[in-house]
Every structure is written in structure tokens, then in C-alpha cells.
Chains A and B, each alone.
Chain A
Amino acid sequence: MTEHNNMELPRRQFLSRAAKAGISIVAAGAISYALYDREGPVPGVSAEDLVTLPDFSIPPEDGRTISIVTGSDRTKTVGRAIELLGGLGRFVRKGQTVAIKPNVAFASPPMLGATANPGLVAEVVRLCYAAGAKQVLVTDNPINDPASCFTLSGIAKAATAAGAKVILPKDSLFRYTTLAGGKLIRNWPVYFGPFSKADRLIGISPIKHHHRSGASMTMKNWYGLLGGRRNVFHQDINTIIAELAMMAKPTLVILDGTDVMMTNGPTGGSVSDLKRKNTLIASTDMVAADSFGCSLLDLRPSDLPYLSKAHQAGAGTTDYESLKPKRAKIS
């Protein structure tokens, strides 16, 4: 009996230990099975992770595609220019969320004109709310430090005061995109977050001299939608600007030629780089807007190869006169 009892305890211990060992082996096997990767890693972005920016454009209306208003007071010229296209009610419906993408590229004060005019941005925000917008978002992915750009340009303050929500480009707001038919925008990070929530998109940009591409206007403004090491695209500036015009499908663009940066662009840095031209353009066709806008820089559309590229790609027309621009003058 004593011997038997002595055997009993080790046997129990053995069985218990064997059971635990069995569970451990099964667990190790199950985890290995769950994690088993037959193919090995595939470099690049998987197709499921790609996004496409929404199409924000609205149906065209004959004769109400582009308006050109002259005058020095932006709050008046922009109001008139939009009115000539049918009023903001045509573009923004009650309860909609509007994303505004001004050019906030540089940490530079508003008087130097390197960024969109804060008063103009605020006025567009105000008009959106007047048209019944639920919320207006103002955002950009600047070149200089984002927070500093929004602060120094005066855009954060003006837009916030007008009731807009200013969104800074956090890393988490970027996704990868591939432009259909694009050569350069392939598996590239795009600023997506704020635009995925919006119903409408309005671009606001000043007219600026740009040594590499000739001019920075509404199409070049969409460079701010790109993330990553986007500067590599300067090697083929005309193609990237044309592809940006294909990728971004805004509801409306506003091109501000009140003070045009004639030299030292796109940064400027001195008021002497600016010249008063008192012109403001609103358009649903950004190729047309830029084709007219470049005349304020004393350029012809043929001087800017990206315009004909965008025209050929169907993003708009360089022959803005064919659209019968609405013109007005505010004294």
C-alpha cells in the first residue's frame, strides 16, 4: 500500500504536467498556423488600402462657368464673381459640409501675398454659411511648418472668426492614392481626411510667379493635397500639375489677382514683389481660370505647358473665351 501511494503522487503530477505540456504544444501550433505566411512580404501598398478623392464637381451650366470681376475690395469682388455664376446657393446646399483649400504654403504675413488672402477666405466661409452649409472646413498641407503657416498667414484667425473649423495636416489624415491614367501619382500619400468628410470643395489661391512652372494658380494649389516627399515631382512639374488637376475635382475655384506676385515667387518676401491688378476670377473650370489668370503675369497659356496637358486630359479648357466669361467691374 505504501508503495502504491508513493506511485500515485508522481503519476498525478505526471498527468497534470503532460496535460499542460499538451496545451502548450497545441497553443504554439495554433499561433503558428494563424500567423503562417506562405508568400512572404509583398513590397508596396496593397490595392485595398488605396483611396480616391471624391468628385466634388457639380453639373456645368452653359455661360455660367467662369466670371471675371475687377475691383480692389476682395469681399465685394468675390461676392459678385460668385453671384455671376448663379450665387453660392448653386454650389452649396443646406446642411452640406464644405472644405476650403486655400494656399497656405508659407509662414509669411498676409501683406506679402504668398498665401491666400485671409479676408477673402473668411468671406467665402461666410458665404458658405449664408448658403446654409452645416460646417466649413479650412485646411492645407503647407510647405513650411503647418501651424506657423496658418497662424502667420492670418488664415487660421480669419477663418475661425468666420465660423470655420481649421484642420492641420496630421500624419493620420493621409492615405495612399493612385490617379487613374496618372503617370506620377501612383501609390502616393494624399491628404484625405478632411476631404473624405466633405460634400463640396472650394479652392482659393493667389496668382504668383513661379520660376520652375511659370505660374502658381488654382491648379498648382492642389500640390497641397500631396503628402510624402512630393518635391521629387518638380522634375516633371508640368505633368504633376496636370495630374493634380485631374485628381482634384473641386466644386469651385477662386483665383485672386487683386495683388499679383510678379517676381520672386512663390515665396515673395517683399511688398515690391507684388503688383496691384484688381482682378478676381471664380470658375468651375480651373484650366480656364488659370488660362485667363496667367495674363495677369504677362504670360500666354502656351507659356505654361501644364495648361495644355490638363486641357488634353479633359480637366478643362484653355480657351476660356469659348466659355463666354461673365465680366463685371466694381468701382
Chain B
Amino acid sequence: MRIVTTRRISQAFFFTLFFWFCIVSTVGDKIWQLRGWPVDLFLWLDPLAAIGTALTTHTLYRPLLWALATIVLTIIFGRFFCGWLCPFGAIHQFVGYLANRKKTTAQKISLNKYRKAQSIKYFILIVLLFMAAFPSIAATLQTGLLDPIPLVSRSFNLLLLPIFDRSVNFVSVSARFYEGAWLIMALCLTAVLLNLVIPRFYCRFVCPLGALFGVISRFAVWRIGRRQGDCTDCTDCGLCEKSCEGGCEPRGKMRISECVLCFNCLDDCRGDLVSYQTTSSYAGEITNPDVSRRGFVISLASGVLAVPAIRLSNKIGANWDHRVIRPPGSLAEPEFLKRCIKCGQCMRVCPTNVIQPGGLYGGLENLWTPILNNRIGSSGCQLNCTACGQVCPTSAIRPITLDEKLGRGSFADAGPIKIGAAFFDRNRCLPWAMDKPCIVCEENCPVSPKAIYTQESFTTVRDGVLTVRKAADNFTEVEVEQTLIPGKFATGDYYCALARPSTGGLAPNNRVKIAANTESSIELSADRNIENIPAPGARIEIQVRLQKPYVDIEKCIGCGICEHECPVSGKKAIRISAVGETRSADRKLLLEPG
């Protein structure tokens, strides 16, 4: 078998595997659901995630040790990951092939030549890594913005899957939504469509992971090059550069750091003069990436300065945005931002779809990090669920147990994890603002005892002060002087309040539930205990019984189910804010008990 065929099979295999992992990132125990599938495999294998988090945290989180395998193999074989494994690279190579397949050989050779701009990706890498490395007090991990593995993960999981699953509802019963997914699409689509200009545009000019591989492949034991000794046979036809995916100039001085090991040159050379060998190319080679000292210093300085510049917004300090509600188990904000690679796995796996890609409102660093938006999805953060932390590849969201989340067992003393607290908007709440019974929030509060409780009150309705014309002897019916809307007070929530004969004032416990009403009379429930029967001309009042809801802030865990279920849509009448969240001491709201 030709080596390029083997490479294509490998690319197709890993792309299919990647796509399969996208589908199975669904909570459940069926064969096509999460079970034990290693859905983070590509992220674990990603050295940029490993090195990035190692720089910010000075540790290497357990599963990221897989990246060591990638690094070791790259040191031995070169950039095999780009040419053989990367699912994003496979897309670029395929689209680039489709776009340029009808061009002439001369055009193709010209298309695939080396360009000076290919060094841009190294500058991007330097900026991102120095943002992560310095200064140690304000390190931020932004590699995920352009790292191809998180990029392709979130693009497939938060974009393609929801779009295509909409019509079939195979992966999810109801359609899934991701706020601001258009921006994710814009980046992904731009990257893919740039293949129409130059094949593997993203890989050649932008990809920071490719740049990282370019740096560590300089010592590669095996490398592509011209065979020793028979260079006189080379007719300089240029066919070896016709389909060169990396733009690494195998004809002349081989640029090792640019070579993505596509092996097309090997396949295309008529004279069999190119080989994958342990010796350097006979025509000479350039092992180092094309990065000037000036360029290096400028990128380094940009990276170092970028973090304090971003932090001037004070978005992780006192100016934090109330919408930035992190999933349960998330580390405190500064630590969280040192680890989150914006891969979107938590947003994909969340069974309720409440975890959303963050927007710029939380600052530049918030972009595409997980945010709970209780207005989207099938319910807020589900009580008996810890899926997000289980799939987080970098432990920005820790893999907590249910006991830890709910404060049970050995975590009983610590209490449940709070991700925020619910606040009533009494100007919008039906019982508070409009004297309408509701308490859907109370009904759905999953905590026991409920964090939302009510206090009963009776409020006289508008135009509810009535004059008795005639009351039946047993007071099962009372005729009034005023005109009523028939049936309006028949819901079981309205009461007729009677005045005390002695004072004329309303007696607090002297109420009878209304069973029905016509235009001129009110039928009263037989089930009551009243002090007196009103005489003609006496005043009675129609009152609505309200259960006014309150949040017990000590019990509220911020799950947001109340906000999700609140019938006041658009802007809910109860909303979660991340204040009081367990993970950060500086957002504490309540004093420690006793």
C-alpha cells in the first residue's frame, strides 16, 4: 500500500473517531451514549492544552499526561499529529483538495510554495504561551481560542451537531441551543473557507498547535528529505511541491518545522528521490522555525503585557459580571481561567443544555468559557448530575461526586456546593407585583427543605370593596350593589372578607372562600367559620389569597431551576446571580453561622 493511502486511512479513521466521540458525549448508558467512551481523547493528546495548563498552574493534570505521548512521538517522527491525526487538519486537507483539484501542476506548485507569513503562527504561539506564563500572579490560558482541537470540538459539538440533530432529534429529545454560536461558526467557517485561497491556510499561518509541533520537531529522528548521493538525478521538476501540505519546500532546503508529514512529495517524485530518513536532506534543510529575534521579542512583550491589559477591566475582581455563573465544581475564577481551554465539552455533555459558551460581557477571557444561562435548556442545573466536571479535560471544573455537590456523607459539614443565589424581582413577580397567585418557583425548588418558601397574605382586589344588598340566612350567598365579572372570583383563590359589626374594620380571620360569582351575587363556600352575617348596607371586601415567595438564602444553591420555570418570560422574575458561590471567598454573601 502506498504511504499516502495509509495516511488517508489514518486521517479518515481519526476524523470518524472524533465525530463518534461528539455523538456519544450524551449522558446515558446506551452504546451510542457516554458510558465509558474516552470522549476527551483528542484534548488529552493535545500538547498545547498540557503545556498551557502546566505553565499557568505548574502542574500536569492526570489525563493530560497523554500529551507526553504526542510530544515523544513528534520528537521521533516529526509532525505526524498534523498530517495523520488532527481532525481539523483532515478537514483542511480535504477541503483544500476539493478547492484546488482542477488547477494545473504549475499553479499547484506555486500555491504550495513556502511563504514568509507562515511564521505568524509562531508569533501567535509565543503570545499565547507568554500570556499563560507571565506574570505568575495574572496568568490566563487563552490557547483555546485558536488551538485546533478545542476549536474543532466546540465547532462540531455546539454548532454542527445541534443544527443537524434539530430535524431528527436523535442525540437530544429537544433542540439544543448555544448562545453566540454564530461567532464560533464565523471562526470555524473562515478557517475552513480559507482553504479556497491557500490549502491548509489555518495550519500554515495560524495554528498555534502546529507551531508548537514545528518547534519540537526540529530534533525529529526521522524526517523527509532528498536521498543522499543521487541528487544529480533530480530534474528539478517541482512535482514534489505540487501537493505539499505544509509548504515546506522539499525541492530545496527542506523546512523541517513546516513539514506535516503528508508524504505527498514521496509519492509524487517520479525519480523516487525523496525519502523519510534519519539523515538530513541532501539538498540541505532548515530545522528552526523562521522566527526573527525581533519578532520573538515583540510577541513575548505582547504576551506579557496582554494579561495585565485585559485585567484592567477588573472582570475577575469587583467588576465581575453577574451573568458569569460557573458550573458546579468550577475552581475560583483566577484558577478557573488558568485551566479552561474553551473546548465546550461541558456544554456538550450537560443534559439540560444550561451550560452555554460565555460572551464578551464577562471580559475577553470569558469568551466561550462555560456560563449557566437558565433561560436556555430543559431546566437549570440538575440536582443529581455532575456530568460537566467528569468530562472537563483540564479540571477547570473538578470531577466532583454527587455527595460533594449535595453536601452529603463526608461532605455534610461543608454543605452543598452553591453556584449562586436566587433573587426575586418583586417588580415582575406575579404574587409580589400583580397580586396573582403563582409560586411555580417554590414548586420546582429541588432542595429539601425548599430554599423558596412562602408567606400567606390576603390583599383586597381592585374595586373589591362591595356593599351588601342582601345576604342569605346561612350566608351561602350574598348579593351586592356593585357589578361583578361573572366567574372572575371562582378560582378558589378569592375570599370574601367581612367587617366586624362592633368596629366596622375588617376582621383578620373573618373570611369565607368564594365558590362562584355572578354579575350581582357571590356564592360562598360552605366550609367556613364566621363570626357574623353582614346586614344589608354592610361593607365586604373581595380579597385574593397570595402565597408570596421568599428565598431562604442559606438554603439556596443557585441551581436556577426556579429561574428556568418562572412564567414571567423575557426577563424572569427570579434570577440567579453568582454571588454567594462556594468557589470564591470574595463573592461570599452571608456571615458564617455562629
| B-binding residues in A (CB < 8 A) | 106-109, 143-148, 151-152, 168-172, 210-212, 229, 231-232, 234-239, 263-264, 266-270, 272-273, 300, 302-303, 305-306, 308-309
Neighbouring A residues of B526 by C-beta, 8 Å: 302
Inter-chain CA distance A36–B140, complex, in Å, is 59
Find out whether the CB atom of A238 lies under 8 angstroms from the CB atom of B175. no
Find out whether the CB atom of B378 lies under 8 angstroms from the CB atom of A264. no
Find out whether the CB atom of A144 lies under 8 angstroms from the CB atom of B352. yes
Find out whether the CB atom of A171 lies under 8 angstroms from the CB atom of B384. no
Find out whether the CB atom of B567 lies under 8 angstroms from the CB atom of A229. yes
Q: Can you name the residue of chain B whose Cβ is closest to the Cβ of A236?
A: B491
Neighbouring B residues of A308 by C-beta, 8 Å: 515
- Whether B442 is near chain A, meaning CB under 8 Å from some CB there, is yes
Q: Can you name the residue of chain A whose Cβ is closest to the Cβ of B487?
A: A183
Known interface pairs A106-B446, A305-B492. Does A170 touch B174 (Cβ–Cβ under 8 Å)? yes
Neighbouring A residues of B565 by C-beta, 8 Å: 143, 231
Neighbouring A residues of B448 by C-beta, 8 Å: 264, 267-270, 272-273
How many residue pairs bridge A and B at CB < 8 Å?
126
> Which of B118-126, B192-200, B310-318, B433-441 forms contacts with chain A?
B433-441
Find out whether the CB atom of A235 lies under 8 angstroms from the CB atom of B442. no
Inter-chain CA distance A229–B570, complex, in Å, is 12
Find out whether the CB atom of A211 lies under 8 angstroms from the CB atom of B454. yes
Shortest distance from the beta carbon of A300 to any chain B beta carbon, whole Å: 8
Neighbouring B residues of A147 by C-beta, 8 Å: 27-28, 172-173, 351
The 16 listed contacts between A and B (C-beta, < 8 Å) are: A107-B379, A108-B384, A144-B352, A144-B379, A147-B351, A171-B174, A171-B175, A231-B567, A235-B436, A236-B437, A238-B492, A264-B448, A267-B444, A267-B446, A272-B448, A303-B527
Find out whether the CB atom of A212 lies under 8 angstroms from the CB atom of B437. yes
9 smallest beta-carbon distances between A and B, as pairs: A269-B448, A305-B492, A270-B448, A238-B492, A145-B378, A231-B567, A302-B527, A168-B173, A145-B352
- Whether B547 is near chain A, meaning CB under 8 Å from some CB there, is yes
Which residue from A148, A171, A272 sits with its C-beta under 8 Å from B27?
A: A148
- Whether B169 is near chain A, meaning CB under 8 Å from some CB there, is yes
Inter-chain CA distance A211–B455, complex, in Å, is 11
Find out whether the CB atom of B491 lies under 8 angstroms from the CB atom of A212. no
Neighbouring B residues of A263 by C-beta, 8 Å: 449
Neighbouring A residues of B491 by C-beta, 8 Å: 236, 238-239, 305
Which residue from A108, A145, A210, A229 sits with its C-beta under 8 Å from B443?
A: A210
Inter-chain CA distance A309–B492, complex, in Å, is 9
Shortest distance from the beta carbon of B490 to any chain A beta carbon, whole Å: 8
Neighbouring B residues of A148 by C-beta, 8 Å: 27, 351-352, 382, 385
- Whether B561 is near chain A, meaning CB under 8 Å from some CB there, is yes
Shortest distance from the beta carbon of B395 to any chain A beta carbon, whole Å: 24
Neighbouring A residues of B515 by C-beta, 8 Å: 305, 308
Q: Can you name the residue of chain A whose Cβ is closest to the Cβ of B454?
A: A211
Shortest distance from the beta carbon of A79 to any chain B beta carbon, whole Å: 30
Neighbouring A residues of B492 by C-beta, 8 Å: 237-239, 305-306, 309
Find out whether the CB atom of B169 lies under 8 angstroms from the CB atom of A264. no
- Whether B574 is near chain A, meaning CB under 8 Å from some CB there, is no
Find out whether the CB atom of B566 lies under 8 angstroms from the CB atom of A145. no
Find out whether the CB atom of B525 lies under 8 angstroms from the CB atom of A145. no
Inter-chain CA distance A273–B430, complex, in Å, is 28
Neighbouring A residues of B569 by C-beta, 8 Å: 229
Shortest distance from the beta carbon of A172 to any chain B beta carbon, whole Å: 7
Find out whether the CB atom of A234 lies under 8 angstroms from the CB atom of B379. no
Near A by CB (< 8 A), chain B positions 471-504 give 491-493
- Whether B67 is near chain A, meaning CB under 8 Å from some CB there, is no
Find out whether the CB atom of B382 lies under 8 angstroms from the CB atom of A107. yes
Q: Can you name the residue of chain B whose Cβ is closest to the Cβ of A112?
A: B448
Find out whether the CB atom of A302 lies under 8 angstroms from the CB atom of B525. yes
Neighbouring A residues of B547 by C-beta, 8 Å: 211-212
- Whether B90 is near chain A, meaning CB under 8 Å from some CB there, is no
- Whether B82 is near chain A, meaning CB under 8 Å from some CB there, is no
Shortest distance from the beta carbon of A195 to any chain B beta carbon, whole Å: 17
Q: Can you name the residue of chain B whose Cβ is closest to the Cβ of A183?
A: B487
Neighbouring A residues of B29 by C-beta, 8 Å: 151
Inter-chain CA distance A143–B437, complex, in Å, is 20
Inter-chain CA distance A146–B173, complex, in Å, is 8
- Whether B72 is near chain A, meaning CB under 8 Å from some CB there, is no
Inter-chain CA distance A151–B384, complex, in Å, is 11
Which residue from A152, A211, A231 sits with its C-beta under 8 Å from B566?
A: A231
Which residue from A144, A170, A236 sits with its C-beta under 8 Å from B382?
A: A144
Near A by CB (< 8 A), chain B positions 554-578 give 561, 565-567, 569
Q: Can you name the residue of chain A whose Cβ is closest to the Cβ of B447?
A: A269
Residues 282-306 of B, flagged 1 when their CB comes within 8 A of A and 0 if not, give 0000000000000000000000000
Inter-chain CA distance A323–B91, complex, in Å, is 71
Inter-chain CA distance A235–B567, complex, in Å, is 10
- Whether B75 is near chain A, meaning CB under 8 Å from some CB there, is no
Find out whether the CB atom of A231 lies under 8 angstroms from the CB atom of B173. no
Residue among A145, A168, A229 having the largest count of chain B Cβ atoms under 10 Å: A145
Find out whether the CB atom of A151 lies under 8 angstroms from the CB atom of B28. yes
Further contacts, 16 of them, CB under 8 A, given A145-B379, A170-B169: A108-B384, A109-B384, A144-B352, A144-B561, A146-B174, A148-B352, A211-B439, A212-B438, A212-B442, A231-B565, A231-B567, A237-B437, A264-B449, A267-B443, A268-B448, A270-B448
Shortest distance from the beta carbon of A286 to any chain B beta carbon, whole Å: 18
Residue among A148, A236, A263 having the largest count of chain B Cβ atoms under 10 Å: A148
- Whether B450 is near chain A, meaning CB under 8 Å from some CB there, is yes
Shortest distance from the beta carbon of A215 to any chain B beta carbon, whole Å: 12
Near A by CB (< 8 A), chain B positions 369-386 give 377-379, 382-385
Q: Can you name the residue of chain A whose Cβ is closest to the Cβ of B430?
A: A235
Q: Can you name the residue of chain A whose Cβ is closest to the Cβ of B446?
A: A267
Neighbouring B residues of A305 by C-beta, 8 Å: 491-492, 513, 515
Inter-chain CA distance A296–B352, complex, in Å, is 34
Inter-chain CA distance A289–B13, complex, in Å, is 59
Inter-chain CA distance A305–B448, complex, in Å, is 27
- Whether B445 is near chain A, meaning CB under 8 Å from some CB there, is yes
Inter-chain CA distance A210–B515, complex, in Å, is 21
Shortest distance from the beta carbon of B397 to any chain A beta carbon, whole Å: 18
Neighbouring B residues of A168 by C-beta, 8 Å: 173
Q: Can you name the residue of chain B whose Cβ is closest to the Cβ of A114?
A: B446
Find out whether the CB atom of A152 lies under 8 angstroms from the CB atom of B28. no
Known interface pairs A146-B378, A147-B351. Does A234 touch B437 (Cβ–Cβ under 8 Å)? yes
Inter-chain CA distance A302–B513, complex, in Å, is 11
Which residue from A108, A151, A232, A273 sits with its C-beta under 8 Å from B567?
A: A232
Inter-chain CA distance A264–B445, complex, in Å, is 9
Find out whether the CB atom of A234 lies under 8 angstroms from the CB atom of B446. no
Inter-chain CA distance A303–B567, complex, in Å, is 26
Find out whether the CB atom of B378 lies under 8 angstroms from the CB atom of A269. no
Inter-chain CA distance A306–B490, complex, in Å, is 11
Neighbouring A residues of B352 by C-beta, 8 Å: 144-145, 148
Find out whether the CB atom of B169 lies under 8 angstroms from the CB atom of A234. no
Q: Can you name the residue of chain A whose Cβ is closest to the Cβ of B175?
A: A171
Inter-chain CA distance A143–B27, complex, in Å, is 18
Shortest distance from the beta carbon of B383 to any chain A beta carbon, whole Å: 7
Shortest distance from the beta carbon of A129 to any chain B beta carbon, whole Å: 23
Which residue from A108, A171, A272, A300 sits with its C-beta under 8 Å from B446?
A: A108
Q: Can you name the residue of chain B whose Cβ is closest to the Cβ of A238?
A: B492
